[in-house]
Structure 1
Amino acid sequence: MEIRLRADNCTICGVCEEACPYDAITMAAEGPEFNEECTVCGGCVEACPTEAIYITGRETSPQPQPKDTAGDVWVFAEQRDGELLDVVFELLGEGRRLASDLGMSLGCLLLGDDVDHLAQELIEFGADRVYVGNAPELKHYRDDLYAQVLEHAVRQHRPAILLIGGTSNGRSLAPRVAAGLETGLTADCTGFALDEDGNLLQTRPAFGGNLMATIRCPHHRPQMATVRPKVFPKPDRQAGRKGQVIALELPTFEPWQRILEVIEDADTGPNLAEADIVVAGGRGLGSPENFRLVEELASLLGAAVGASRSVVDAGWVSYAHQVGQTGRTVAPRIYIACGISGAIQHIVGMQSSDIIVAINSDPDAPIFSIATYGIVGKVEEVLPALIREIRGSSS
């Protein structure tokens, strides 16, 4: 792609120079000149009031998609070992809302080996159509093959919106597909809306979680977004609901990866993303030894262990326990925050918890502003007292 100028249209107004975020435009007597800093982001194209600037190799204006030809809202139905992930149902609920508002159908793409039995479950949670791709090569997730199949299916059926769970697999798959389709992708969305033209407004944390940005992709389809687990509620199941199951026409596979072995995670504790109770620790604990108090309390309560990013960065606990913008999003019944100050980056990952109990020595810690119950005190003193009480009540 390359920036070009329609000289006859240019009025040398300088709007493009002001709009460029990379200082890649200098105004000359004949019009704008573009230097090597240009990333072909298109900001100047949208800003130009006379349509004097355009990009070769791409459409420069939105292509209207009537409701009868624009396609569906799609959800990628990720499954592991023949079981659908909870985030799939959460996306079906949100996808159902968007599809209804747009007057579209809700479709699901299901890939695997002998996974037809999952199609009815997807329909009962809101899907109108389930596109199923069965092949032995698709039994386990593989970046190369799944991206090939998903891109092929999108080109065939032309959905308007494609939602993918922000799991480890989804985070790898979504950008590959978006790049192949030359469309936009917004990661880790926390909310969706529609503008007056039917474009998807995608809201996500930005600038380190210090503000929320709303992003749209008006020029390309499908509009793609990933969403972490627990961001949206799981809808009710409608037993006996009817829908279509459509066999996907699979492309010829061109694999460049080979799975040698599948090793189960050795961690036998409760799943952090699905736990009813989470006990999480932060740097306010003071030392790795004190973090063991968090683990002990979690064990007594049958809870999962969470942690702030600073604790993970310090090496006190593995990344698998990190809660927040760059970790897991959780929504347990009870979240106990021990020595966590409450930075916005952490809060976005746990603010949907039903009950939040905060323990911190600083009475002005931000965590108390969202806490259901707060305990002001030294964590290394409060936790042993809690542990003693729980042990005493259970004996």
Structure 2
Amino acid sequence: MSKVWAYCNFSDVNERDKSLSLLYKLQDVMKDNRFTLEVIALGAKRCDEDIPIQHLQCLNVSKIYCVTNNVFNGINNYVAYVEAMKILINKYNPQYLMFSSSRHNRIVAAQLATALESGLTAECSKYYVNTDNEIVQIRPTFEGNTYAHIISKSAVKMSTALKSSYQRISISESITKTLDIETIELPLEIPHKNIYFNNSTAFNIPVTPKLEKYDVIFAAGMGLGSKENVNKLKRLAKRHNVGFGASRPVVEMGWAEQSDLIGMSGSCVSPNLYLAFGISGSLQHMEGMRNAAKIISINTDKNAPLHQLCYSIILADAVEMLDYLINEWR
């Protein structure tokens, strides 16, 4: 049986959701009983109280390793995390190692891949098992118009997950699966000279409301035709206390702010309702909003790529529909 490790963190809500999102992406793999899913969590203290046990049981996790050492007090002490993972990999021999999408995890993944001389597939949106019993890693290509299906041949096959909001799951009260929790107090000392310290420059980035918090989002596409119409949609969203987002072309035109961007390089959202005004749907955009519970598209193009994700499609001019809603929703 092949062992799949998910490198996770449950210490706060944001990190927990990213970790659960990774585990959700691995569910197609877990349909194959030749794979077992285990979680690895490194911290300065025992993580028992932080573990969302029922969620992990529903997501087919069989075991979690809670690895503790005081050197994990600083999340920027990347050398410590890499050295610890090298020890654990040598001891337990996982065949696959997937990282959730936080900045810390991506840095640890990159440095660990270098130390192990292993391949690393970045920003995977999905995983599945092929006919040769190998896990295939799917990620959008840089051009953004197709997906790459990647098979790693490294001894430890590593990848990072594309950031996305956690898909809601139903927690069953009749769960019978058991979750094995093993706490490991890892003896590890890192010389002071090797401790990484953060010398990054602080930029004055305006604080904006995060789109992830909204249950309803209105999203602007190029079908709205002008900055004036995009601003009308933004005002309508504000009036009804719902989120406002935009596709990349709208942001690049200067009709919306960078903080409004929804997609791989912007916000990834999973509202109950996503109402798209004139958005055709690039892969990058769809990866940022495909986890919405219901997606409604307003577009004159019946063949828009976004429509493959939609709950409902309104074949109408986005500007005319916007004006109608402004008059009706008073």
> TM-score if structure 1 supplies the norm length?
0.66
CA positional deviation for 1:294 = 3.0
1:98-127 Cα offsets, whole Å, 9 max, x none, are 356354542212233435234542475133
- What's the C-alpha RMSD, in Å, of the aligned pairs? 3.7
What is the rounded CA distance, in whole Å, between the counterparts of 2:228 and 2:73 in structure 1?
A: 42
SS at match of 1:85: helix
SS at match of 1:376: coil
CA positional deviation for 1:77 = 1.3
- Counterpart for residue 249 of structure 1: 186
Contact 1:79 1:85 in 2 (8 A): yes
Contact 1:341 1:366 in 2 (8 A): yes
Distance 1:199 1:303, change over 3 A: same
Residue type of the partner of 1:366? A
Pairing 1:296-375 to 2, within 5 Å after superposition: 296-360=235-299, 362-363=300-301, 366=304, 369-370=307-308, 371=310, 372-374=312-314
Residues 1:377 and 2:317 are matched in the alignment: yes
What is the rounded CA distance, in whole Å, between the counterparts of 2:220 and 2:284 in structure 1?
A: 15
- Counterpart for residue 177 of structure 1: 112
1:125 to 34, 56, 71: 56
Distance 1:367 1:227, change over 3 A: closer
SS at match of 1:349: helix
- Counterpart for residue 285 of structure 1: 224
1:236 to 171, 174, 182: 171
What is the rounded CA distance, in whole Å, between the counterparts of 2:37 and 2:165 in structure 1?
A: 20
Pairing 1:171-250 to 2, within 5 Å after superposition: 171-230=106-165, 234=169, 236=171, 238=175, 241-249=178-186
Contact 2:211 2:245 in 1 (8 A): yes
Contact 1:275 1:303 in 2 (8 A): yes
SS at match of 2:32: helix
Q: Which ranges of 4 or more aligned residues in structure 1 deviate by more than 6 Å?
A: 259-263
What is the rounded CA distance, in whole Å, between the counterparts of 2:75 and 2:282 in structure 1?
A: 34
CA positional deviation for 1:216 = 0.5
Q: Higher relative CO (CA 8 A, sep ≥ 6), structure 1 or 2?
A: 2
2:23 to 68, 71, 92: 92
Residue type of the partner of 1:374? I
Distance 1:368 1:229, change over 3 A: closer
SS at match of 2:211: coil
Identity of aligned residues (%): 25
Residues 1:141 and 2:75 are matched in the alignment: yes
Contact 2:68 2:186 in 1 (8 A): no
What is the rounded CA distance, in whole Å, between the counterparts of 1:252 and 1:215 in structure 2?
A: 36
What is the rounded CA distance, in whole Å, between the counterparts of 2:35 and 2:282 in structure 1?
A: 39
**Which moves more between the two structures, 117-126 or 152-161?**
117-126
What is the rounded CA distance, in whole Å, between the counterparts of 1:301 and 1:250 in structure 2?
A: 55
CA positional deviation for 1:215 = 0.9
Contact 2:307 2:313 in 1 (8 A): no
Larger Rg: 1
What is the rounded CA distance, in whole Å, between the counterparts of 1:283 and 1:81 in structure 2?
A: 37
> TM-score if structure 2 supplies the norm length?
0.77
**Any unmatched runs of 5+ in structure 1?**
1-66
Contact 1:189 1:226 in 2 (8 A): yes
What is the rounded CA distance, in whole Å, between the counterparts of 1:340 and 1:177 in structure 2?
A: 39
CA positional deviation for 1:338 = 2.2
1:159 to 94, 105, 112: 94
SS at match of 1:90: helix
Contact 1:322 1:328 in 2 (8 A): yes
SS at match of 2:85: helix
What is the rounded CA distance, in whole Å, between the counterparts of 1:178 and 1:266 in structure 2?
A: 34
Distance 1:356 1:249, change over 3 A: same
Distance 1:81 1:192, change over 3 A: closer
Distance 1:301 1:328, change over 3 A: same
CA positional deviation for 1:308 = 1.0
Distance 1:137 1:296, change over 3 A: farther
- Counterpart for residue 7 of structure 1: none
SS at match of 2:19: helix
What is the rounded CA distance, in whole Å, between the counterparts of 1:215 and 1:86 in structure 2?
A: 25
Residue type of the partner of 2:144? G
1:110 to 41, 57, 64: 41
